[in-house]
Structure formats: structure tokens, C-alpha cells
């Protein structure tokens, strides 16, 4: 039997095999470890969650500066939380950095976690310690990226596929690995994405987009090159042009002129939130016409706004 922690399983086997006295103590020790492993295994892999969660389902991206009270008072329970990684801020200086604190906090509350991890400023010795810490805490989902303003001279990994290979080399199939998908990618980037899947990526999470045809075309292109892993659409809920433009600047995404014009015209002529209409139609179209069952929300920690929208959507 494969355990979340090989070290702990070896300790159990060692005691069972060589201990011949103090039977009561041995059995108690064995039961405690079994109970711990059961808790460790409560966290599911993203690919399993996508199969078993009732549709439609949602997940939330959160940043490490989120308040614990906000997490505790969510009116909706997402399928999992993705925790962003900011190497330029915490410098990978130790294992007591903000994203790891948040990931462990969420695990202590029995939440499923997808931890972001970038190649930026990443050294192999730090990676080994980090992966062991994650395994010890039952965190088995990683979202691998190159990192913003990445400098290859400051990293042991020249590409995200090198990082995926190293994770697989050290920990086999323990981690469920996701990679980013750019819905408007060209053929060259599509083949790079296929390579990442071939070397060990288990699912794709896209950048935010605002028109269902964009996702439809992207999934068709993926199928044309035999990319057959789950593809999760990334969704940013916004209400007005100011919120949309702020997200464009923050995440450097492309938005069609049609969407931008629609938002501006609606804001100036009708007393409605144009972003709500766009996001509602996007999710409705993906769900009813393309069979998409799960949506990943880039929340920017604005939970009240996002949850209110999702509640209206489900009403």
C-alpha cells in the first residue's frame, strides 16, 4: 500500500516486523499512525475532484494576504482553493512564508488546496524541502508556472517543464500537477503545452477569458494535438469597466475590443453591471453548450462580490 508519507509507513512496518514485546504499546502506536494517514489522505487530487463533484462546481483563487475570518465566513464552499505564489515578495527564504502558511491553514480546516509554485528564484535544495513539507501536510496539488519577470540566472530551473520533471523524479505521482493554458495561444505555445502534459502535467487551468467561443476554440486546438487532460476555465467576475481594466493591468490578459466596447456602452447608457451579464452568459454557455462542469474564479479575495454572483447564478 502506498502512503502519503513513505517515512511514516516505513516506521509502521518497522515496528510490526521487529517488535515482539509490549504488544499493547505496539498496537496503540500502529493505530495512531493509521489515523494520521487517514487524515492525511482526506485531501483529494484536483483530477479526482473534477470527476466526483456535483456540477456545476467552483473553485477560488486566493492570495496569501487573505484574512482567516473571511475564509471562515464564506457563504459558499468552493471545491478547492488555489493559493498564489509570489517569489519576488518572499524570496523563497524559508518554509515559513505566507503562501505556505495559508496552505497549511486551509489544510487544518480540511480544505482542498492547489498551491501555486514558480521557477522564479527556485533552487533544488529548497524545492526538495518544500515538497517534503507539502507531503507531510497532505498537500498534493501544485500549479506550476515560470513566474513573472523570471530571471533564469537566479533559478535552477530554466523552464516549467524542467520543474515538473524534477517533481516527478523526486516524488513520483504523489502530486497532481496543473499548468497554465493561454486560450489565445499560437501553435508553438500549444506544442509546448502538449510537452508539459506529456512529461507529467495532469490538468490545465486557463487564463481568464470573457467569450465562450475563445474556450471552445482552445479546447478544439488541444484535442487536435492529443491533449486529453481536463481543462478548467479561468473566470474573472467583474461588474464595471474599472474592475475589468484593473484585472487586465494586473494579470496582463488580452480582452477583445468587442467586450471592452460592450462594457463601456452598457455603463454609459443602462443602469446595470455589464460585467455581471458577461460572466453569467459565459458560465451559462460553457455549462449548457460545451459541457463544462467546473469553473475557477479569480476572486482577488473579493468573496462577498463573487459569492453573491454565484448565488444569483444558482437561483
**Could you give the CA distance from residue 142 to residue 152 in angstroms, rounded to a whole number?**
21
Do 106 and 204 fall within a single domain?
Answer: yes
Residues 75 and 311: beta-carbon distance below 8 Å:
yes
Q: For the residues 194-219, what does the mean pLDDT come to?
A: 98
Do 173 and 227 fall within a single domain?
Answer: yes
Q: For the residues 81-103, what does the mean pLDDT come to?
A: 97
**Could you give the CA distance from residue 30 to residue 66 in angstroms, rounded to a whole number?**
38
Do 240 and 164 fall within a single domain?
Answer: yes
Q: For the residues 129-140, what does the mean pLDDT come to?
A: 98
Q: Is 215 helix (H, G, I), strand (E, B) or coil?
A: helix
Do 12 and 116 fall within a single domain?
Answer: no
CB contact set of 16 (below 8 Å; sequence gap of 6+): 26, 30
Q: For the residues 270-294, what does the mean pLDDT come to?
A: 93
Distance, first Cα to last Cα, the chain:
44
What are the helix (H) ranges across the chain? 6-18, 23-40, 46-52, 68-72, 87-90, 98-108, 124-136, 160-171, 187-199, 212-224, 241-251, 257-269, 274-289, 303-314
Predicted pLDDT at 12: 30
Grid cell at residue 117? 509554485
Percentage with pLDDT > 90 across the chain: 81
Do 104 and 228 fall within a single domain?
Answer: yes
Q: For the residues 285-290, what does the mean pLDDT come to?
A: 96
**Could you give the CA distance from residue 268 to residue 260 in angstroms, rounded to a whole number?**
13
Do 300 and 158 fall within a single domain?
Answer: yes
User: Residue 287 belongs to what domain range?
Assistant: 45-314
Q: For the residues 114-129, what does the mean pLDDT come to?
A: 98
- Of 51-65, 95-109, 159-173, 193-207, where does mean pLDDT reach its minimum? 51-65
- CA angle (315 as vertex; 236, 233 as ends), nearest 5: 25
Do 78 and 19 fall within a single domain?
Answer: no
For the stretch 237-266, pLDDT in tens is 999 999 999 999 999 999 999 999 999 999
Do 3 and 124 fall within a single domain?
Answer: no
Do 156 and 26 fall within a single domain?
Answer: no
CATH of the domain at 155: 3.20.20.220
Number of domains forming the structure of the chain: 2
Do 53 and 32 fall within a single domain?
Answer: no
CB contact set of 184 (below 8 Å; sequence gap of 6+): 209, 214, 218, 254
- CA angle (220 as vertex; 226, 115 as ends), nearest 5: 75
Do 8 and 103 fall within a single domain?
Answer: no
Q: Is the pLDDT of residue 195 over 80?
A: yes
For the stretch 11-65, pLDDT in tens is 333 333 333 333 333 333 333 233 233 334 458 999 999 998 878 999 999 999 9
Do 148 and 241 fall within a single domain?
Answer: yes
Predicted pLDDT at 314: 84
Q: For the residues 293-299, what does the mean pLDDT come to?
A: 97
Q: What are phi and psi of 178, to 5 degrees?
A: -110, 155
- Of 77-86, 190-199, 262-271, 279-288, where does mean pLDDT reach its minimum? 262-271
Predicted pLDDT at 46: 98
Q: Is 172 helix (H, G, I), strand (E, B) or coil?
A: coil
Predicted pLDDT at 112: 97
Distance of CA 250 to the CA centre of its chain: 18
Amino acid at each position: 500500500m502506498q502512503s502519503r508519507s513513505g517515512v511514516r509507513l516505513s516506521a509502521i512496518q518497522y515496528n510490526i516486523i521487529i517488535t515482539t514485546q509490549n504488544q499493547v504499546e505496539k498496537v496503540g502506536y500502529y493505530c495512531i499512525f493509521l489515523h494520521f494517514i487517514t487524515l492525511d489522505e482526506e485531501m483529494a487530487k484536483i483530477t479526482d475532484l473534477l470527476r466526483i463533484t456535483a456540477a456545476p462546481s467552483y473553485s477560488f483563487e486566493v492570495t496569501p494576504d487573505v484574512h482567516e475570518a473571511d475564509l471562515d465566513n464564506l457563504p459558499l464552499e468552493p471545491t478547492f482553493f488555489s493559493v498564489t505564489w509570489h517569489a519576488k515578495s518572499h524570496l523563497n527564504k524559508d518554509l515559513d512564508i505566507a503562501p505556505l502558511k495559508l496552505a497549511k491553514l486551509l489544510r487544518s480546516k480540511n480544505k482542498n488546496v492547489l498551491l501555486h509554485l514558480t521557477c522564479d528564484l527556485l533552487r533544488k535544495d529548497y524545492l526538495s524541502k518544500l515538497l517534503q513539507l507539502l507531503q507531510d501536510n497532505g498537500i498534493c496539488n501544485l500549479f506550476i508556472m515560470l513566474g513573472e519577470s523570471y530571471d533564469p540566472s537566479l533559478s535552477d530551473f530554466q523552464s516549467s517543464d524542467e520543474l515538473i520533471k524534477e517533481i516527478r523524479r523526486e516524488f513520483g505521482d504523489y502530486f497532481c500537477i496543473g499548468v497554465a493554458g493561454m486560450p489565445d495561444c499560437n501553435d508553438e505555445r500549444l506544442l509546448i503545452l502538449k510537452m508539459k502534459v506529456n512529461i507529467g502535467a495532469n490538468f490545465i487551468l486557463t487564463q481568464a477569458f470573457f467569450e465562450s467561443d475563445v474556450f471552445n476554440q482552445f479546447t478544439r486546438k488541444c484535442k487536435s494535438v492529443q491533449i486529453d487532460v481536463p481543462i478548467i476555465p479561468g473566470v474573472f467576475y467583474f461588474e464595471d469597466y474599472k474592475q475589468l481594466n484593473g484585472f487586465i493591468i494586473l494579470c496582463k490578459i488580452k480582452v477583445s475590443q468587442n467586450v471592452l466596447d460592450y462594457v463601456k456602452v452598457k455603463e454609459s447608457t443602462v443602469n446595470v453591471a455589464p460585467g455581471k451579464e458577461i460572466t453569467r452568459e459565459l458560465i451559462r454557455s460553457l455549462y449548457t453548450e460545451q459541457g463544462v462542469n467546473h469553473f475557477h474564479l479569480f476572486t482577488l479575495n473579493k468573496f462577498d462580490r463573487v459569492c453573491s454572483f454565484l448565488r444569483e447564478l444558482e437561483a
